[in-house]
Structure 1
Amino acid sequence: NIFAASSPERAKLIMSNVAKRIEALDPSFIPLFVRSDVVGQKLLCLIACMCTDTLFFDFVNDVIRVKLALGLNEYGDSDARKFWDDKQIQSDKVANLTEATRKRLLSTYKQYLYNAGITDGNVGSRKIIVPIISADIVAWLREHDLQPALAALTGE
C-alpha cells in the first residue's frame, strides 16, 4: 500500500489516477521527473493534473494566471465564485454540478495548489507564490506544447 490508502479500493483509485496522469504526458516526462528536485517534481505533478482535468486547468488559468498578470499575488473566495459563475454559463455540465460538488472540487484544487507550493494554506484569501521553474522543465513544457500550463502558473 504505497499510497497509505484507507482501503484496497482507494489504493486502486489512486493508482488509476496516477497512471492516467502519467499517460497524458509524453514518455520523456519520466526521466525529467526522476532528475528533478522535489519542487520540480511537485510542479510536474500539478501540470499532469492540469493536463488530465480541464476544469482544474481552467481554474488555474482563469484565476491564478489572471491574478498574476494583473500584478496581484492573492485570490479569495470571491474569485472562486466568479470562476464557477462563469463556467456555469459556459457549460451545462458545470451548471448541473451541485453546490456540494463545487465546494469539494474547489477544496481539491486549493489543496493541489498548496501541495505544489503555488499558494499558501490560508483560509479565505490565499497568497499566490510564483514558482521558480527549472530551465529543464521550462524547455520540456515548451517542447511538448504545454506553454499554456506554464503561463497559467507564472502569469505570463
Structure 2
Amino acid sequence: MSTELEYSATLTGASFLFFEFKQVVSLKVQGLNEQEIREKVLSENLFQYQVSASLKRSIPSVIRRTSILDNTLCRLVLEHSLESGKIINLYAIMKTDRLYYEFMNEVIREKLESNTYLLEKKDLNLYFNSKAEQDEGIAGWTEQTVTKLKNVIQRILLESGVLKDKKTGELSRIMMDEQLKQHLIQIGDIAYVRAMGEV
C-alpha cells in the first residue's frame, strides 16, 4: 500500500507521461539500469522534448514509476493493448504517489461503486480540504500548487480513460484486461485494482 509514502506535490511536474513511460519500460526490458536509462534518455532526447529542463523534470517520475513494475507488467505494457498500457501506467502512478492513490481510492472508487459517473469541482476541493486537515505538509502548500495538482489529477484521469470529458466531469469505467487484473491480485495489489473501480 502507498501509505508508507509521504504526500508530495511531484505530480505537478509529471502528469500522465504515457509515451515517456513506454520508452523507459522498453529500455528496462533491454536490461538497462536506472542510471543508464537516465543517460540514454537525456543524450538521445528519447522523450522528444524541445526544452531539456522539462526532460530533467519528468525523468525521475517516469523512472520511479517503471521501477515498481515486474517483468510481467513490463511485457504487458509493450505487447498488449494501448488500454492495458495506460491502466498499468495509472497503477504505477498510484503506486508511487500517495496523494493520487488516495484520490482514486477515496473519490473515484466510491463514485464508481455507487454508480455516480460524475466528478465535480467540489469533489476535488473537498478532497484537498480533508487532506490539508489531516496533514501539515499539504496544509502548507500554496494555492497555486493545489490548483496545479487538481489540474494534473484531472488530466491523468482523462488520459487514462477514467474521465470521459473534463468539461462535463463524466466518468467511465476502465476495461481491465483479465490477465492484468489477475496478475495485480496475485502480486498482492488488489487495493489498486479496487481503486480503479474494478473488483
Q: TM-score, normalised by structure 2?
A: 0.73
Number of the residue aligned with 1:94:
138
Q: Deviation of residue 143 (structure 1)? A: 1.4
Q: Deviation of residue 155 (structure 1)? A: 5.7
Q: Deviation of residue 85 (structure 1)? A: 1.2
Q: Does 1:107 align with 2:151?
A: yes
Q: Distance in 1 between matches of 2:96 and 2:138?
A: 17
Q: Does 1:147 align with 2:147?
A: no
Superposed CA RMSD: 1.5
Q: Distance in 2 between matches of 1:135 and 1:119?
A: 21
Number of the residue aligned with 2:55:
11
| Identical aligned residues as a percent | 22
Q: Distance in 1 between matches of 2:123 and 2:101?
A: 15
Does the aligned pair in 2 maintain the 1:64–1:155 contact within 8 Å?
Answer: no
**Equivalent residues in 2 for 1:5-84, closer than 5 Å:** 5-84=49-128
Q: 1:155 to 1:65 in 2, by over 3 A?
A: farther
Give structure 1 regions of 4+ aligned residues with deviation exceeding 4 angstroms: none
Does the aligned pair in 2 maintain the 1:119–1:129 contact within 8 Å?
Answer: yes
Q: Distance in 2 between matches of 1:21 and 1:13?
A: 14
Q: 1:4 to 1:121 in 2, by over 3 A?
A: farther
Q: Counterpart of 2:188 in 1: which secondary structure?
A: coil
Q: Counterpart of 2:196 in 1: which secondary structure?
A: helix
CA displacement 1:4-41 (0-9 Å, x = unmatched): 32312322332222111011233432112222200110
Q: Deviation of residue 89 (structure 1)? A: 1.3
AA partner of residue 30 (structure 1): C
Q: Deviation of residue 122 (structure 1)? A: 2.5
Does the aligned pair in 1 maintain the 2:117–2:170 contact within 8 Å?
Answer: yes
Which is greater in Rg? 2
Q: Distance in 1 between matches of 2:50 and 2:100?
A: 25
Structure 1 residue ranges without an equivalent (≥5): none
Structure 2 residue ranges without an equivalent (≥5): 1-44
CA displacement 1:89-138 (0-9 Å, x = unmatched): 11111111111111101100110110011102332x41111011001110
Does the aligned pair in 1 maintain the 2:154–2:166 contact within 8 Å?
Answer: no
Q: Does 1:132 align with 2:172?
A: no
Greater shift, 41-50 or 27-36, is seen at 27-36
Q: Counterpart of 1:120 in 2: which secondary structure?
A: strand
